[in-house]
Structure 1
Amino acid sequence: MSDDNPHSSRGSAGKSWLDRIASIFNAEPQDISDLQDIISEAQARSLIDSDTKSMLQGVLEVSNMRARDIMVPRSQMATIDIDDTVADMLPILMENNHSRYPVVNEDKDHIEGILLVKDLLQFALDPNVTDWHLRDLLRPAVIIPESKRVDALLKEFRQKRYHMAIVVDEYGGVSGLVTIEDILEQIVGEIEDEHDDEEENDIKKMASRVFQVSALTPLDEFNETFNTTFDEEDADTIGGIVLHAFGHMPARGESIELQGLTFKVSKANSRRLVQLQVIRAKEPVESEES
């Protein structure tokens, strides 16, 4: 007698799917390498897609990382001096486009606190408000050692609701900083903000000679905008041209000059360039004929 129960086949299929997952874990992984093999096998069996695989592998990698492995190095930290005026700060804010900055006293080993750009706006936009000092706007700086586990740091970020930590070496000197975005990008890949996903913002003018340019900007669009002659047979994007010129994967802050333009890496990860700052050279001043 045939079984006409419509739930029977679904139950069988569900059991089969669960059995497939269980069979993968029957090997009883002994270390992270075994877990990575299991994740790869899960993708091969179409139990997870490639994005899920990458995310799971990112979680495993983070569990072995320390703050020193993902921090922005001291040399690439964008900071503000405690005695800076709003006029002093604006070029730094425009160049880096961060939401928060460490504020230092004389040098980067003396961190006074963290400035949130939103806290500065009411003073920057109202020239009549003069009775204030930068020190009054600062949030406390969180200090962590280079050896801090990244997974533990992420937990602290979430529980204590802060977004940036200053990394110090064994002697107490500042060696870099870590943000919550730096950790999440290790898991889910590059996180693009609301300005990165709009096609019309591939090239954004920041100042008279300064532009923010997505590394994925098509080369023909870049050539047309900057009147350059980069060969489209060499690369499809301006990021490809810059990467080839460097000859290695550049870190944030590295720069190179090509065809009269200075290209500074403003955002990158271990796999690709993300965002470039492009600076046009000053035009020579023509002398007037007498």
Structure 2
Amino acid sequence: MSDDNPHSRNGSASKSFLKRVMQLLTSEPKNKDQLVDVLNDAQDRDLINPETKQMIKGVLDVSEMRVREIMIPRSQMVTIDINQKLEDFLPIILESGHSRFPVVNEDIDHVDGILLAKDLLAFGFNSQSHDFSLGDIIRPAIIVPESKKVEPLLKEFRSNRYHMAIVVDEYGGVSGVITIEDILELIVGEIEDETDDEIDDQIKHLAGNVYLVKALTELSDFNDYFNCDFDESNADTIGGILLHKFNHVPKKGELFNLDNFEFKVLSSDNRRMQMLQVSVNKSHEINGKLSD
């Protein structure tokens, strides 16, 4: 005989609901997917906000990642040669906006140490700056393999109080660089500072008739800014124009004179130029004014 009592049916439904709630409260997630489901449910019930959920999920993601997945590749590293003079690499520091720089000896696979930009302050106000030696102020470089897990590296960053590590492949060649900021951004999202907008600028006036220009600056933008007419049918960027004239990838420090400009390569790797110092002939007009 079927039970048509509505109170009985309601009582069974309530017990079933309570049973599911108790299972949710007493059981533990068996894997990451189940834990994410718990987080999603907590957000749906307004127990945590979306930002908190995203940070927790970021921690979970970091726990499974390896350094090779988030490192800055070698082609994008901003380095300084240990044999460069202060006046030669200072524009690179000013343009990049970074606070730490790998210091290389001859090529990127030989890293002698890490330069902290703040360590240069003493020489900026010292009349004895002609005695400056980059090798005297660089810090030791921390080397980590590509395969290292990100989570223990973050712990090492914190416990040993360093912020940058050089990443190497299985043969000992430099693959890239990783910073504590790269890891933290996976958890809390992109960290912007007061230099980020400046870094996006393709052309920066240093002083007088000297400028810093990214090699990938669109040729049309370069022509507009400097009131010149390099042939845009030959290349899309100012770096492309120089490659066309050099007939090879210029090395750091190479000079080239073209029309009213002197180009000096400030940073370059085996495949492309990255940063240029551009000196403008003083008789050349920029935006209707003579260059200072």
Q: 1:188: which partner in 2?
A: 188
8 Å Cα contact 1:94/1:206 also seen in 2? no
Q: 1:62: which partner in 2?
A: 62
8 Å Cα contact 2:113/2:138 also seen in 1? yes
Structure-2 change in CA distance of 1:195 and 1:177 (3 Å): closer
Q: 1:268: which partner in 2?
A: none
Alignment of 1:36-55 (within 5 A): 36-55=36-55
Please tell me the residue identity of whatever aligns with 2:61: E
Query: What does the per-residue CA deviation read over 1:147-174, in whole Å, with 9 as the maximum and x for residues that have no partner?
Result: 1110000000000000000000000000
Would you say 1:257 and 2:255 are equivalent positions? no
Would you say 1:97 and 2:58 are equivalent positions? no
| Equivalenced residues, count | 211
Would you say 1:116 and 2:116 are equivalent positions? yes
Please tell me the residue identity of whatever aligns with 1:44: D
8 Å Cα contact 1:24/1:42 also seen in 2? no
Residue 108 of structure 1: how far off its partner (Å): 0.7
* In 1: Cα distance, 2:190 partner to 2:152 partner: 21
8 Å Cα contact 1:86/1:124 also seen in 2? no
8 Å Cα contact 1:79/1:102 also seen in 2? yes
* In 2: Cα distance, 1:254 partner to 1:186 partner: 29
Structure-2 change in CA distance of 1:56 and 1:128 (3 Å): same
| TM-score normalized with structure 2 length | 0.63
Structure-2 change in CA distance of 1:258 and 1:50 (3 Å): farther
Alignment of 1:149-164 (within 5 A): 149-164=149-164
CA RMSD of aligned residues (A): 3.6
| TM-score normalized with structure 1 length | 0.63
Give unmatched runs, 5+ long, in structure 1.
1-19, 212-252, 265-276
Please tell me the residue identity of whatever aligns with 1:260: D
Alignment of 1:187-266 (within 5 A): 187-195=187-195, 206-207=204-205, 255=216, 257=218, 259-260=220-221
Structure-2 change in CA distance of 1:53 and 1:119 (3 Å): same
Q: 1:4: which partner in 2?
A: none
Query: What does the per-residue CA deviation read over 1:34-64, in whole Å, with 9 as the maximum and x for residues that have no partner?
Result: 1111111111111100110110110000001
8 Å Cα contact 1:166/1:177 also seen in 2? yes
* In 1: Cα distance, 2:109 partner to 2:53 partner: 40
* In 2: Cα distance, 1:22 partner to 1:149 partner: 36
Secondary structure of residue in 1 paired with 2:205: coil
Query: What does the per-residue CA deviation read over 1:228-281, in whole Å, with 9 as the maximum and x for residues that have no partner?
Result: xxxxxxxxxxxxxxxxxxxxxxxxx994628525799xxxxxxxxxxxx9x99x
Give unmatched runs, 5+ long, in structure 2.
1-19, 223-236, 240-274, 286-292
Secondary structure of residue in 2 paired with 1:93: helix
Structure-2 change in CA distance of 1:141 and 1:85 (3 Å): same
